Structure 1
Amino acid sequence: MNPKSSGVEITDNGGGSFTVTVESGTPDFTFRDRSDVVSVNTVGCTNLPSNCFYNCTFREFTADQSLTTIGSYAFYKCNNLETITTPSMSKIEDNSFSFCTKLKTLSFPESMTYIGDSCFTNCTQITDLSFGGSITHCGSSCFSNCDSLINLTFNNIDLSDNSLSGITSIENFVIKGRISKINSANMDPLKNYVKKIEINQAFPDEIFGKADDYEYANSGWSTVYNTNTDLFSNFIKLEFFQVNTNFYYADRIFNNCPLLTHFIIRGSFCHYIFCWDVSECRDRPYEGARSFQNTHIKYIEVNKFLTVLGSDLNWLNDAIYINISHFYIPDEFGSKGYSGRPPFIPLSQNVKEIYASSRFFYYIILPNDLPYLNILTINRIDYSDELGYTYRYDIIQNSNPLLFLNCSNARNLKEVRCANKSYEFDIGSYGFYNCYNLEVIDPNINISGEWIFYNCSKLREISVSGTLLPNAISNCENLKLIHFNNVSLEETSCISECPNLEILDFSKVSSFSTVPNSFLGLKNITVLHPLRLIGSNWMNEIENVSVILPKGLSNVNNNAFSNCHTLVNIDIQDVTTIEERAFYSCTSLKYIKHSNHIIQISDYAFWKCTSLLEFQFGDQIQTIGSCAFAYNIFHTITIPSSIQTISSQAFIYSSNLDTVIFMKSPSIIETQIFSSCNLLKNITFVSSDSDVEIAPSAFSDNPKLEYVRLPSTLKTLGDSSFMNCVALPTITIPDSVTTINNKVFTNCKTLTSIQLSNTLTTIGESVFMDCTSLPSIIIPNSVTSIGTTIFKNCISLTNIELSNNLATISVSAFMHCTSLPSITIPNSVTTIDNSAFIDCTSLRSIQLSNSLITIGSKCFYNCAALDQLTIPDSVEIIDTEAFSKCNSLSSIVLSSSLREIRSSAFFRCTNLNNVVIPNSVQTIGTNAFMNCENMKTFTFNNNIRVIETSLFENCYHLETITLPTSTTTIKNRAFYSCRDLETVIMSDGVTDIQEESFSQCTSLKNINLPKYLRQTKRNIFNNCQSLTNITFPENIDRITSFTLAYCSNLLEITISPNCQVLTDAFKGCINIKTIKVGGNAVFSTNCFDSSINRSINIYYKGVQDTTSNDHRNEVNRIYYKIFAGCGYKPDSYCDITVGKPTECSPVCPQCPDFPQCPPCIQNECPSCNCFFSAIKNGRHSTIIFLLARNR
């Protein structure tokens, strides 16, 4: 660069980028002919001097706010220039951008005022140029040879005659503000190219003519100047012309514009544009008559005021829409030769739509196929225009309700209007039947009946007031919107088969009634403002409904949309309260559009809205009611800090919910608030500023829950609050927590780590039950109470430290903790409750509390690994089944203070071999040592009065038992199946031995029945196979059935006098040799059933009178009783000789040399004073009865 003077600083930014800094007041500088420059920035430069960047190759130019003027030829031939940024530009001098062939789009700021000659000449790629501000000078040939220029936009512009000369391609010419000078000379360059001209504002006295006098003059028309004749004539490509300002006439202004289809004037009025073709029209005949000659206008819109229509109306032949809001014909027009009013105007058959005032409508002749009609329903109209003149016209009324019924003139009818909006026009049944081109119907028309709009296939919108009968609106395939006023749908299918119907508008409804199935075949409908339809189920007849409630509505009332199963969308923008069941079971509802103003959402408001994707709670929400969002499918829920109350089950069964964030916790997290959310993973409480309570089951049954951050001010965890959260791996209980209630973490199967609060005092029932992955836990010393089943089924638990302040290990506390190897019970514990360590199959070592008093029922049941145990001397009670099934327990030392060993306390301790009962024990319960298979010795104290039922049943290896002298009773099965028991020693104090007490003691050899035993019970010695003899004491008066059944080695029985031997008492005792029977003993039938199979001796003692026949009778009686039921018995017997005994002789059966007795002989033995009878048994050996008397 070669600056001409100082004050210019050039900074090389690298990569071809330069910054030019120019001090204020610096003279010209040049940077021309540079080919190594990519971009240029100017700082502080107010004017770019002429030729400064002449023929440079940079692509980008950026100026700061300082630059206001670009000098002539400043960017001349900058062939690579693409982008220019000039935020404060006001003046562009001649040829500034000439031959910048790569410029495409330029936009200049509001400060722009001056465009020099040929500014953009030969910018061949420019497509869009936009100039802000007010251009007071636009030089000649500014845009010449801009071959690609399509859009040219000005704000305010003063065009010179040659400003647009040389243009070759422009299509859209837009003036956003005012254009102060426009004439044929400066418009001519556009005529072969422009398609659209749009002018927002204009100066009427300089553009479209000049009105000398706006006042109405008695002498006739206002004076006007025609300065722009042919202004837009021969614009052969012009299609669209719009002026948003006042418009004044000019003759032939659009002459020969063959493509012009749209003519729109939206100013205050359009004055004198269409004049009558009569010489009487003041001094200017035919003015405006050729304004649209050789055009084919289809769309005419004049916003306010049309003065007069000329008679040369061929330009209307192609019009399909005419919208002229007011038609004005002066009253005195009749004085010009037309008898008070102009002739009727015949319209072309091509006219498709007409919208005009009553006056215009009155003076036209309708085409045969009129497609648009403005229904005139009043007899007269008074109209005052803005010029102050009042006109009154008579109108013809036509209110035939069947006016359009299948008539030929209605086949192409497109619109029907009511001119007077205060008048209601009635249409009855079949009113628009088969009007298949009808598109618009006036909302003031009342309709009642059937088939009213049948097959109106182009109708898009209607308003309905009246009574609808079947098919009133039917087969309207393009109908999109129905506005309801006061409507009654009295039969089925009133609105049917409208496949594209989108909106039902109830915003003006004051009464509405339906019957079932009034709507048929409708779907994807939006319902506006259905406030008076609350509680109705009619929307369920429509598939996929959307609802928009009115603005300003604060409440959605109870059951407003309850069970609207087809409701899909609803807009409740201003609502603050949603009352109970408002959207209950809207199973298709997906989207709710609302503001952040909702304060209260009541119970069941969105219950079972199973398609609702999300609901954003605003920062004003305070209350969410019970089950408000139950069964939703939200993915994330953020509860704002404003929340005060969330009621129970508010979000229960949220099947897709992943994350819940409480920005600030309410004081109570209610029951089951987020329970059973199958995909919920994260729960975070961001903050809390008051005590918080989590109510029962608040977050229970969430199988995917992985992360929980509890509020720092949490006091209580309610029952089951995280129950069945099977994926939760870790949890930290804040130090604020004092109570963990029942089942809080039950079945949290993957929980591996938990840190408890140091202020915790109470842990409820089953809190960690079924936490099958929990390996260890520390119960802080602040805890004074733990609930039942607290660690039940914690099968991975291997280490636990208990609080030193616990008083009780509760029921089933460690039930099924199958991996727990050891436990230390703190000395504070006085009670280990029932089943506390049941099924802890790995528990080997237990250190019990020195303060322990009671070991509860099943406390250590099935602790199969426990091998030895010392019960502290403080223990007084070992409860039922306390150590049952401790299969490895071989040694136990009992407490010296022990008072009770209750039922089954050591049941099935199969390795227990020695037990010593302390002197303190008063009772031992039933089954206490049952199935202790390896027990060999058992030592009683002297206090046990009752040997309880099954006390030693199945103690197979118990060999000897000595019962204490205090014992009075041996209960059922006490020693049942003690297979190695050989000797039982009992004192004479035993008075009751109950059923089966020694049954199946197959090794029992010696037993001394107590002296005072009165009777035996069934099966007491059943199957005692080693028992050889037994003597029943003299006090026994009854030997019960099966007393000694199947004692297969029993040889000798001594039966006391006067004893009754019952049936089967000795059944199956097959080896009996001797029976000694006391006097007066009574034998029941079959008492030796299946027993005798060889010779036996029966000694009968106690015969008082040997001279009587009693001997014989007794023998007979014994014979029948003893042998009844036996497999083998004598065939006959000889009578016993009655007489005084003689001296014994060598033939006595008791003598060793006594020979076999011959049949039917009788002998006497004088030596022993006895007598006998021999009975021949032909099949077996002789059975000898020896009846001996007492001596």
Structure 2
Amino acid sequence: MKKIVSLIICIVLTVSLFSLKVCAETEKGYVYSVIGNQALIEDVEDNLTGEITVPETLGGFPVVSILDYAFRESKVESIKLPDSITFIGEGAFINCEKLEKINLPLGVKEIKKDTFSQCFSLKEVNFSGTVTLIGGNAFFNCSALTQIDLIGVNDIEFSAFRNCKKLSDVTFSDSLETIGESAFFGCSSLKEFSIPSSVNYIGSDVFGGCSALEKIKVNESNKIFSSVDDVLYNEDVTTLYWYPSGKTDKSFVMPKTVEKVVWGAFEGCKNLKSITVNFIGTERNGEFSTGFASIFGDKMPTNIETVILKDIVSVPGNTFYDCSKVKKIVLPKTVTEIGEYAFAGCSSLTSINVPENVKTIGDGAFKNCTSLKKITLPKGIEEGNNVFEGCENIKVIFGEETTEKDEKNESQQSVDNSSSGLETNSSETENEPDPKPVPDNQKPEKKNKIYKILIIVLLSITASALIARTVIILKKKVPTD
């Protein structure tokens, strides 16, 4: 009995709902339906072009909604919406490539996902001040948009303004709380970004590809984030979130308080030439796995020439693997171990110090460091296999560096190394006697001259003897009268 009653109720409700809906109608180029005495725009005809004003009523019913993808790929250039509209669906204006201008009525509270995505010509969006949410990809690839006023907005979702390449002016209010992942990625004209006191969440890669960004400012009242020298940190400066890609400084010294660097925080920092960091990878006390280049994202920039490390005790394996543009690396005295292939592939590296406290160097640590011509290692160091493989004509010095004179005389403290591991260890070097001075009369150049003179004399004597013998023979053969 209960099942029958439930079935009857479902049928009644279904019939009631259908009675509220009128089949889709077309008027003035708008395809709409009516639900509950309200018109909802579902689609538009191709003859709607240029500047249009959406009517307040269709079929005598107030227009309250623009449904998902209603204007997709439309050729309209300017749209004026009536105040009766309170809802705009996902992708409502997606791929309207000619759309340049639109207003948002007071009743609209949210801009849904993909609403204006790929509107390449969109230059002006007039917000009502009542919009609280900007959905994911809402303005994706709106490459003509130069300015946006987000007063009243609480949340900006992922990639909301991604690739808005001309966007240079963004205004927020203290109502803003969250900025989603990659929200402003690729906004390459954005030079300064101000974060209100109310923001409590910033997603990853928000400023990726913002190549002109020089300054990130944070309101001093913000309890989550802070800005030091225009670099974005958490409130107590223990986590570094983002270094502005367009910042003009040539060098950066990490604050001592920093314990963590977000992956890719230094992505695209095109002007930076020297960087000083307190640890390797993304966390001071975390398990090492990502390598030094991880703080630069997918690829280390070619402009970084000098890396200065502080407060570390080891250089783990593969730390600087294939950092092919780094020319100079400075290690602190606290380092005791260099892991395998730690600097392998640093083909531009010309200068590196190995502190006296280093006890071991792993296999292939300097493999293919083709620009490295000289390096000093501590005496008694334990080296792995093929430490300098591929380093042509490198000079490895054990202990104190030799003087210029000693180098010219090829002191036995030096060792020439080619493709294999170190050919000489420290104990062999220490036991070999110093080379004795060579007397002047035995020097190679003088010996060569003496040999040449002797050869000439011998040749002269031999020639004279041959001539004399020939004369004697001829005399014997000539008949006498």
Q: Taking structure 1 as the reference length, what is the TM-score of the superposition?
A: 0.29
Asked whether the equivalents of residues 1003 and 1027 of structure 1 are also in contact (C-alpha less than 8 Å), the reply is no
- Distance change >3 Å, CA 1099–CA 1134, structure 1 → 2: closer
The residue that corresponds to 1:939 in the other structure is: 231
Structure 2 residue ranges without an equivalent (≥5): 1-15, 402-411, 439-481
Q: 1:882 aligns with which of 168, 183, 187?
A: 183
- The structure carrying a bigger helix percent of its residues is 2
The residue that corresponds to 1:968 in the other structure is: 259
The residue that corresponds to 2:350 in the other structure is: 1050
The residue that corresponds to 1:1075 in the other structure is: 376
Asked whether the equivalents of residues 312 and 332 of structure 2 are also in contact (C-alpha less than 8 Å), the reply is no
- Distance change >3 Å, CA 750–CA 836, structure 1 → 2: same
For residues 830 and 790 of structure 1, the distance between their equivalents in structure 2, rounded to whole angstroms, comes to 18
Q: Is it true that 1:1031 corresponds to 2:359 in the alignment?
A: no
For residues 923 and 903 of structure 1, the distance between their equivalents in structure 2, rounded to whole angstroms, comes to 14
- 2:165 aligned counterpart, secondary structure: coil
Which amino acid in structure 2 is aligned with residue 900 of structure 1? Answer: Y
Q: Is it true that 1:764 corresponds to 2:70 in the alignment?
A: no
CA RMSD in angstroms comes to 4.4
- Distance change >3 Å, CA 868–CA 946, structure 1 → 2: same
Asked whether the equivalents of residues 33 and 39 of structure 2 are also in contact (C-alpha less than 8 Å), the reply is no
> After the TM superposition, which residues 1005-1154 of structure 1 pair with which residues of structure 2 at under 5 Å, given as runs?
1006-1012=306-312, 1014-1016=314-316, 1018-1020=318-320, 1022-1023=322-323, 1025=325, 1027-1035=327-335, 1037-1043=337-343, 1045-1055=345-355, 1056-1077=357-378, 1081-1099=381-399, 1123=417, 1125=419, 1135-1136=428-429, 1138=431
- 1:1095 aligned counterpart, secondary structure: strand
- 1:1008 aligned counterpart, secondary structure: strand
The residue that corresponds to 1:837 in the other structure is: 139
For residues 244 and 308 of structure 2, the distance between their equivalents in structure 1, rounded to whole angstroms, comes to 20
- Distance change >3 Å, CA 922–CA 1032, structure 1 → 2: same
- Distance change >3 Å, CA 906–CA 1059, structure 1 → 2: same
The residue that corresponds to 1:276 in the other structure is: none
For residues 340 and 427 of structure 2, the distance between their equivalents in structure 1, rounded to whole angstroms, comes to 32
> After the TM superposition, which residues 84-163 of structure 1 pair with which residues of structure 2 at under 5 Å, given as runs?
none
Asked whether the equivalents of residues 979 and 1000 of structure 1 are also in contact (C-alpha less than 8 Å), the reply is no
For residues 1002 and 796 of structure 1, the distance between their equivalents in structure 2, rounded to whole angstroms, comes to 39
> After the TM superposition, which residues 751-830 of structure 1 pair with which residues of structure 2 at under 5 Å, given as runs?
751-752=48-49, 753=52, 754-757=54-57, 759-773=62-76, 775-780=78-83, 782-830=84-132
The residue that corresponds to 2:451 in the other structure is: none
- Distance change >3 Å, CA 815–CA 977, structure 1 → 2: closer
Shift of 1:825: 2.5
For residues 161 and 311 of structure 2, the distance between their equivalents in structure 1, rounded to whole angstroms, comes to 42
For residues 795 and 1066 of structure 1, the distance between their equivalents in structure 2, rounded to whole angstroms, comes to 53
Structure with greater contact order relative to length (CA < 8 Å, sep ≥ 6): 2
For residues 792 and 736 of structure 1, the distance between their equivalents in structure 2, rounded to whole angstroms, comes to 27
For residues 386 and 394 of structure 2, the distance between their equivalents in structure 1, rounded to whole angstroms, comes to 17
The residue that corresponds to 1:3 in the other structure is: none
Shift of 1:836: 1.0
For residues 245 and 324 of structure 2, the distance between their equivalents in structure 1, rounded to whole angstroms, comes to 14
Structure 1 residue ranges without an equivalent (≥5): 1-666, 671-690, 700-707, 710-727, 925-936, 1102-1114, 1142-1146, 1148-1156, 1161-1191
The residue that corresponds to 1:145 in the other structure is: none
The Cα offsets for residues 823-876 of structure 1, whole Å up to 9 and x where unpaired, read as 132322221111111122221221112x22211111112222212223323222
Equivalent pairs counted in the alignment come to 394
The Cα offsets for residues 953-1004 of structure 1, whole Å up to 9 and x where unpaired, read as 9879663334344422346665467453223233479346732246745444
The residue that corresponds to 2:8 in the other structure is: none
- Distance change >3 Å, CA 1068–CA 986, structure 1 → 2: closer
The residue that corresponds to 1:981 in the other structure is: 272
Asked whether the equivalents of residues 776 and 799 of structure 1 are also in contact (C-alpha less than 8 Å), the reply is yes
Asked whether the equivalents of residues 1063 and 1085 of structure 1 are also in contact (C-alpha less than 8 Å), the reply is yes
Which amino acid in structure 1 is aligned with residue 43 of structure 2? Answer: F
> After the TM superposition, which residues 617-636 of structure 1 pair with which residues of structure 2 at under 5 Å, given as runs?
none
The Cα offsets for residues 448-470 of structure 1, whole Å up to 9 and x where unpaired, read as xxxxxxxxxxxxxxxxxxxxxxx
Q: Is it true that 1:745 corresponds to 2:43 in the alignment?
A: yes
For residues 1089 and 1006 of structure 1, the distance between their equivalents in structure 2, rounded to whole angstroms, comes to 23
The residue that corresponds to 2:21 in the other structure is: 693
Shift of 1:1025: 4.3
For residues 887 and 775 of structure 1, the distance between their equivalents in structure 2, rounded to whole angstroms, comes to 26
Shift of 1:792: 1.3
- Distance change >3 Å, CA 972–CA 848, structure 1 → 2: closer
The Cα offsets for residues 67-103 of structure 1, whole Å up to 9 and x where unpaired, read as xxxxxxxxxxxxxxxxxxxxxxxxxxxxxxxxxxxxx
The residue that corresponds to 1:871 in the other structure is: 172
| Identical residues among aligned pairs (%) | 18
> After the TM superposition, which residues 525-924 of structure 1 pair with which residues of structure 2 at under 5 Å, given as runs?
693-695=21-23, 698=24, 708-709=26-27, 729=29, 737-738=37-38, 740=40, 744-745=42-43, 748-752=45-49, 753=52, 754-757=54-57, 759-773=62-76, 775-780=78-83, 782-849=84-151, 851-917=152-218, 920=222, 922=224
> After the TM superposition, which residues 44-59 of structure 1 pair with which residues of structure 2 at under 5 Å, given as runs?
none
- Distance change >3 Å, CA 879–CA 794, structure 1 → 2: same
Asked whether the equivalents of residues 735 and 759 of structure 1 are also in contact (C-alpha less than 8 Å), the reply is no
- Distance change >3 Å, CA 821–CA 854, structure 1 → 2: same
For residues 1060 and 739 of structure 1, the distance between their equivalents in structure 2, rounded to whole angstroms, comes to 76
- Distance change >3 Å, CA 756–CA 861, structure 1 → 2: farther
For residues 322 and 437 of structure 2, the distance between their equivalents in structure 1, rounded to whole angstroms, comes to 38
Shift of 1:731: 6.8
- 2:341 aligned counterpart, secondary structure: coil
Which amino acid in structure 2 is aligned with residue 803 of structure 1? Answer: P
For residues 823 and 772 of structure 1, the distance between their equivalents in structure 2, rounded to whole angstroms, comes to 17
- 1:773 aligned counterpart, secondary structure: strand
Q: Taking structure 2 as the reference length, what is the TM-score of the superposition?
A: 0.67
The Cα offsets for residues 636-687 of structure 1, whole Å up to 9 and x where unpaired, read as xxxxxxxxxxxxxxxxxxxxxxxxxxxxxxx99x8xxxxxxxxxxxxxxxxx
> After the TM superposition, which residues 338-417 of structure 1 pair with which residues of structure 2 at under 5 Å, given as runs?
none
For residues 878 and 1078 of structure 1, the distance between their equivalents in structure 2, rounded to whole angstroms, comes to 55
- Distance change >3 Å, CA 912–CA 788, structure 1 → 2: same
Shift of 1:1060: 3.8
Which amino acid in structure 1 is aligned with residue 130 of structure 2? Answer: S
Shift of 1:793: 1.7
- Distance change >3 Å, CA 959–CA 731, structure 1 → 2: same
Which amino acid in structure 2 is aligned with residue 827 of structure 1? Answer: G
For residues 1132 and 811 of structure 1, the distance between their equivalents in structure 2, rounded to whole angstroms, comes to 66
For residues 1132 and 960 of structure 1, the distance between their equivalents in structure 2, rounded to whole angstroms, comes to 38
Asked whether the equivalents of residues 1037 and 1060 of structure 1 are also in contact (C-alpha less than 8 Å), the reply is yes
For residues 358 and 427 of structure 2, the distance between their equivalents in structure 1, rounded to whole angstroms, comes to 26
Shift of 1:1011: 1.1
Asked whether the equivalents of residues 795 and 817 of structure 1 are also in contact (C-alpha less than 8 Å), the reply is yes
- Distance change >3 Å, CA 965–CA 886, structure 1 → 2: same
